[in-house]
Amino acid sequence: MKEVKSTCCYCGVGCGIIITADKGKIVAVRGDPDHPANYGRLCTKGSNLHRSAATDTRLLFPELRLERESSRQKLDWDEALDYAAGRFAGIIREHGPDSVAFYVSGQLLTEDYYIFNKLAKGLIGTNNIDTNSRLCMSSAVTGYKKTLGADAPPACYEDIERARCIFIAGSNTAYAHPILFRRIEAARQANPGLKIIVVDPRRTDTASVADLHLPILPGTDVALFNAMLHVLLWEGLADMDYIRAHTDGFDALKDTVREYTPESAADICGVPAKDIIQAARWFGGSGASLSLYCQGLNQSSHGTDKNAGLINLHLATGQIGKPGAGPFSLTGQMNAMGGREVGGMANLLPAHRDMANPAHREEVARLWGVNQIPSQPGKTAVELFEALRQGEIKAVWIVCTNPALSMPDQGRVREALEKAEFVILQEAYRHTETSPYADLLLPAASWGEKEGTVTNSERCITRLQPARIPPGEARPDWEIATDFARRLGSKLRHPSWQALFPYASAEAVFNEHRESTRGRDLDITGLSYRLLGEQGPQQWPFREGESGGQVRLYADGVFPTPTGKAGFMNVRYQKVAEMTDASYPFHFNTGRLRDQWHGMTRTGTVARLFSHAEEPVLSMNAEDMRLRGIQDGDVAQVSSRRGACTVRVQSSPEMQPSQVFMPMHWGSRFMSTSGANALTTPAFDPVSFQPELKHAAVKIEKLPYRWQMVALRKNGALAMLPRVQALLPGFQHASLGLSGQDEPVLVLRVAGDAPLDPILIERLDRLMGLDDPDATLRYDDARRGISKRILVDHGMVVGARLSGETMARDWLKEMMASGLPIEQIRLWALAPVNTAPAGSVARGKIVCNCNNVSEREIFDAIGKGSDLAFLQSGLRCGTECGSCLPELKRMLARGNRFSQMPMTKTL
Ligand code: SF4
């Protein structure tokens, strides 16, 4: 047994984790009680991390495919990297450095990021390196730089406890940053006077705790912020002394906001003027207002303006650089901050230097010992894949990310990957939506297997230690890039290739990165691996000779701009890139769920993480559904001008009329169509180049289906997953998932109108072992359209397929997960019904994942008069990670209306 300190690899809260490993396996995790981000707490995703550490789904060896249609061959590392270097060198010689590109990830460690950036900009001489953080944080970067002068979040987590008003905009913190939400709940309990304002078109779990919820129309944030500034000025709540002493550019903005009266903004935003006035009064009058914001502001074609509009409010009230106050952008990914710090984006250079600045380029060239850094701007994410599609970029190296699911306008991105001359995918997992496009697969070490550092949302750097050696031949990402760089440098006869990549350890990479920060706003020259190991996580800046990092920035009112003053940005409301109209009348919004992460590459291997949301659903306003004749559980086709997907629909009190929401997580590995990004628009912000993933115009058409089918398989479900995934495109509508606690049950749900393809069903049966006549009970009733297959192994039910009616699905799935002897259901298995036996009920979705408490059990207890304390003491729900607390409160608020509340309806 060994224990090491690390962090959770999901969101930007950056919770500290202690990993327990035994005989080379990761067997447990618990929150690190000493880590300042979480003090021992973890949310559902973090507390299930050890369950995602199984190696069944990992990519274990380099694999190469010489022809697109052929199968891949296993290689050793020398063969793989020599081949990769040869292909890159050939393409660069023939077409120039800008004919290759790198697309990396906010999941990489800082050291990994540093090497890839140096490889592209220093060795090859191209700025074509961008990252999935472009989809996530780049508007926050430009918002900070345009106003405060540097990409540095000025606040810290402790400010949550010190704030007197928390203004949450475009963030469902309860789902996306759950441990911070626990801190908000605790702050509210400790300080009942704390005001919480939430700006979100949906009434999310986060909005449900707000004192004031502003359900603005999508994309209208700037109008709201300008109107709030209008009120602050009108009511004398602006801090004119602070504005005069520490800011520039106020007069122009003051002129602009004159026209943003609360009434005019109310028309634009769709919220009452009195609520805008109230929000401004609480914000301006609290004495300590903290803004928390995320993708609702960032993923927009005007994301920079939205960020700046909010920061304007802080500058106008002097609410920055002091306890409990400041504009605090919550980072989406574990190490989005680290990537920004090393300049791992097409327009950035190490240590917050700018590509467009000749002096910065010279400094970096000197630091790296190369002649120059190219001045030609690199392609940002959307541009990069478009250049690949157009043939301008010939080869792309994708690292630790899944663009065939996560990029907007999937049709074009997949076409780009199809057309590319050479695609390398460096991944920990064997199967992602992107892997079918890869010519060369390179196995990477993953969470719990690497040494390095990450930076969380509050500028806090944590050193990660490996708990086990990577499986198979997987290697740390920085090491793969270093090895490749040496081979490529030699092939290109680069004058200084031997000196450029001398690293023997992650620590050596960190030390070079540290030196690059000397004298910069994020100076970490006082840090070392030893100090981080001995003293734990530290915030930047942490300069040489200092004894600690800086908790808060700009307390002295001095900003990293040429004048030392912050600058107001004169922003005006602009419409979303794609307006709704008669053909596409719905506002389509995408986002995260509580228990899944990004494209489900990791969380999609953990059965428990499907128990809160089994499959993707389109959330829709009940009246909109009624008007279109759509009922809960119906399947609909959702289409935009770019593509379509089929998805089940569920009414949601969160949704306003004409707005729909679909989670971002599911893609073509878990659905018969591409997911939400089949529909999203590639339109991006002209400053940050971040695409507008939060809004598209769509239409919704109910799909008629005449039959349904469900197939379930226990024992080896994870290994079976990719083979069943390969069948999905053959069905009209299908979704795939896992169920159960520790022994997963694979669940395939299918619905359609056209007759079932018997060849497809035969293949499915063969794959799931349901074709074995000696082990399978069979029942067919063609007249009723019912058929059943029940697979038995050692007297236990381990597989099933029900066609026609599938009402027994949830009951059967739950029984199988907990162990179902065939004798218990033999009569039912041979009876002409596919409904569950009388008296048996399914538990429904699991609300409390930690203690396995279902929606039905909670509603039953509420029906008997339980309050929250009783739910917690009786059922124990909400007593561990706390991720379900907002939902429990919401269920309690419905109270005795239990009998009218439908259980989560399943197909
Ligand atoms: Fe991980 Fe949850 Fe902490 Fe985010 S809040 S870092 S997902 S444990």
Distance between CA atoms of residues 120 and 349, nearest Å: 11
As beta bridge partners, residue 588 has: 660, 696
State which ligand 1 atom lies nearest to the alpha carbon of 7. 6
Q: What gap in Å lies between CA 404 and CA 387, rounded to an integer?
A: 16
The band of 902, judged by pLDDT with boundaries at 50, 70 and 90, is very low
495 CA to middle of ligand 1, Å? 45
For ligand 1, the distance from its centroid to the CA atom of residue 14, given in whole angstroms, is 6
Question: In Å, what is the CA distance from 306 to each residue of 206, 275, 297?
Answer: 20, 19, 6
Best mean pLDDT range from 511-520, 816-825, 842-851: 511-520
41 CA distance to ligand 1 centroid (A)? 9
- Counting atoms of ligand 1 from 1, which one is nearest the CA of 180? 5
Please tell me the predicted confidence (pLDDT) of residue 755: 79
181: phi > 0 → left, psi -120 to 50 → alpha, else beta; which? alpha
pLDDT in tens, 538-548: 999 999 999 99
User: Ligand 1 within 6 A of 37 CB?
Assistant: no
State the distance from the centre of ligand 1 to the C-alpha of 107, rounded, in angstroms: 13
Predicted confidence (pLDDT) per residue in 218-274, tens digit = 999 999 999 999 999 999 999 999 999 999 999 999 999 999 999 999 999 999 999
Ligand 1 centre from 462 Cα, in Å?
14
Has residue 69 got a pLDDT over 80? no
How far is residue 24's CA from residue 469's CA, in Å, rounded to a whole number? 7
Q: How many CB atoms sit inside 10 A of residue 639's CB?
A: 19
pTM of the model: 0.95
Per-residue pLDDT, 790: 94
The residue whose CA has the least distance to atom 4 of ligand 1 is: 11
For ligand 1, whether the C-beta of 43 sits within 6 Å is: yes
Does the pLDDT at position 586 exceed 90?
yes
* Gap from CA of 508 to ligand 1 centroid (Å): 28
Distance CA 17, CA 40 (A): 8
Confirm if 445 and 428 have CB atoms less than 8 A apart: yes
> Which tens digit of pLDDT belongs to each residue from 684-694?
999 999 999 99
Most confident of 54-58, 434-438, 878-882: 434-438
825 or 291, which is more confident?
A: 291
Which residues are within 8 A (CB) of 286 and not within 5 positions of it... i.e. 6 or more apart? 163, 164, 165, 195
Distance in Å, CA 287 to ligand 1 centroid? 30
pLDDT band at 321 (very low <50, low <70, confident <90, very high): very high
- Ligand 1 centroid to Cα of residue 271, in Å, is 32
Is residue 705 predicted with pLDDT exceeding 90? Answer: no
Dist. CA 258–CA 255, nearest whole Å? 5
Residue 851 confidence (pLDDT) above 70: yes
Taking the CA of residue 42 as reference, the ligand 1 atom at the shortest distance is: 8
Q: Is 58 in the pocket of ligand 1 (CB under 6 A)?
A: no
Q: Is 174 in the pocket of ligand 1 (CB under 6 A)?
A: no
Amino acid 103: pLDDT = 98
Atom number, ligand 1, closest to the C-alpha of residue 38: 3
Residue 13 Cβ < 6 Å to ligand 1? yes
- The β-bridge relationship of strands 165-169 and 289-293 is parallel
Write out the two tokens for 369. Answer: 């010992």
Return the ligand 1 atom nearest residue 179 CA: 5
Per-residue pLDDT band for 903 (boundaries 50, 70, 90) equals: very low
Averaged pLDDT score across all residues of the chain: 94
pLDDT at 252: 98
d(CA 664, CA 32): 29
Share of the chain above pLDDT 90, in %: 86
Whether ligand 1 lies within 6 angstroms of the CB of 14 is answered as yes
Q: Closest residue (by CA) to atom 3 of ligand 1? A: 15
Does the beta carbon of 10 sit less than 6 angstroms from any atom of ligand 1? Answer: yes
Pocket perturbation via mutation, ligand 1, pick of 17, 18, 19, 177 by most ligand atoms within 8 A of CB: 177
Give the tens place of pLDDT for each residue, 483-531. 999 999 999 998 888 899 999 999 999 999 999 999 999 999 999 999 9
Q: Return d(Cα 509, Cα 532) in angstroms, integer.
A: 15
Atom of ligand 1 nearest to the CA of 177: 5
Q: How far is the CA of 794 from the centre of ligand 1 (A)?
A: 40
The answer to whether the CB of 460 is under 6 A from ligand 1 is no
Looking at residue 895, what is its pLDDT? 65
Pocket test for ligand 1, best of 172, 179, 596 (most atoms within 8 A of CB): 179
CA of 9 to the centre of ligand 1 (A): 8
285's enclosing H/E stretch is helix 273-285
Distance 175 CA to ligand 1 centre (A): 10
**Which neighbouring-strand residues pair with 747?**
712, 737
12 lines ligand 1 (CB under 6 A): no
* Angle at which helices 758-768 and 717-725 cross, to 10°: 160
Q: Is 881 in the pocket of ligand 1 (CB under 6 A)?
A: no
Among the ranges given (10-14, 565-569, 811-815), the one the predictor scored with the smallest mean pLDDT: 811-815
Dist. CA 37 → ligand 1 center (Å): 9
Measured in Å, residue 879 CA sits from the centre of ligand 1 at 17
From the CB of 11, is ligand 1 less than 6 Å away? yes
CA–centroid distance, 611 to ligand 1, in Å, is 18
- Determine whether 7 is exposed, middle or buried from the number of CB atoms within 10 Å of its CB (0-12, 13-18, 19+): buried
Per-residue pLDDT tens digits for 638-682: 999 999 999 999 999 999 999 999 999 999 999 999 999 999 999
Which numbered atom of ligand 1 lies nearest the CA of 41? 8
15 lines ligand 1 (CB under 6 A): yes
What's the gap in Å between 38 CA and the centre of ligand 1?
9
Quickly tell me which residue has 């990165």 as its tokens: 513
Ligand 1 atom closest to residue 31's alpha carbon, by position in its atom list: 8
Burial of 192 from C-beta contacts in 10 A (0-12 / 13-18 / 19+): exposed
Ligand 1 touching residue 552 (CB < 6 A): no
Pairing of strands 846-848, 853-854: antiparallel
Q: Please work out whether the CB of residue 179 comes within 6 Å of at least one atom of ligand 1.
A: yes
Pocket of ligand 1 contains residue 29 by CB under 6 Å: no
- Between the alpha carbon of residue 838 and those of residues 342, 833, 834, the distances in Å are 62, 11, 12
Q: Could you read off the pLDDT of 745-794 as tens digits, one per residue?
A: 999 999 988 877 889 999 999 999 999 999 999 999 888 888 899 999 99
Distance 664 CA to ligand 1 centre (A): 18
CA 885 to each of CA 197, 291, 720, 872, 899: distance values in angstroms, whole numbers, following the listed order: 19, 22, 35, 10, 22
pLDDT at residue number 781: 87
Tell me the pLDDT band of 372, cut-offs 50, 70 and 90: very high
Q: Could you tell which of 7, 13, 32 is best to mutate to test the pocket of ligand 1, judged by most ligand atoms within 8 Å of the CB?
A: 13
Ligand 1 pocket mutation, candidates 6, 11, 52, 595, criterion most atoms within 8 A of CB? 11
Residue whose pair of structure tokens reads 């057309």 in the numeric block: 419
- Name the nearest CA neighbour of 648 among 627, 662, 668: 662
User: Is ligand 1 within 6 A of the CB of residue 46?
Assistant: yes
Q: Is the CB of 182 under 6 A from ligand 1?
A: no
Residue with tokens 């989560």: 904
Nearest CA, atom 2, ligand 1:
43
Pocket-testing residue among 7, 38, 41, 45, ligand 1, by greatest number of atoms within 8 A of Cβ: 45
- Report percent pLDDT > 70 for the chain: 99
